[in-house]
Amino acid sequence: MADESQACGVEAVFEALADAECREILDALDEPRTAPEVAEACELPQTNAYRKLERLSVANLIAERTALRRDGHHATAYVRDFSGVVVDYDGTNFGVTVVEDESPDERLARFWTQISEEL
């Protein structure tokens, strides 16, 4: 991952997290899954699963990976790609930052960077 966090569209994140099926998909993505596997795990029609996966992708909440198969027909697998969502409000506008998955060391470094910027 290139950045420790990524700013993204407020509406896209709010819409994805407000959608019960999107939240169910995020729960199911505790391991990489293909769209048909997501549809099966969440008991959704495949067309709905693809639509919800696209919504989650636009909101930067999931990432696409290539699932390698022995037969050479590789598939796209989806993974949850964040550890948190930070919402801020400046009195006029909302802002959203999707915090990417990070190790404890990376989290501590980010924390100290934020503190030093405020001093």
Residue 4 pLDDT more than 60?
Answer: no
Higher pLDDT among residues 46 and 83, named by residue: 46
Boundaries of domain holding 42:
5-118
Question: Structural domain tally of the chain?
Answer: 1
State pTM to two decimals. 0.72
- SS3 label, residue 30: coil
What's the pLDDT score for residue 56?
Answer: 95
Predicted confidence (pLDDT) per residue in 10-51, tens digit: 889 999 999 999 999 999 998 999 999 999 999 999 999 999
Residue 52 to residue 29: CA distance in whole angstroms = 13
Predicted confidence (pLDDT) per residue in 53-65, tens digit: 999 999 989 999 8
Q: State the CATH number of the domain containing residue 15.
A: 1.10.10.10
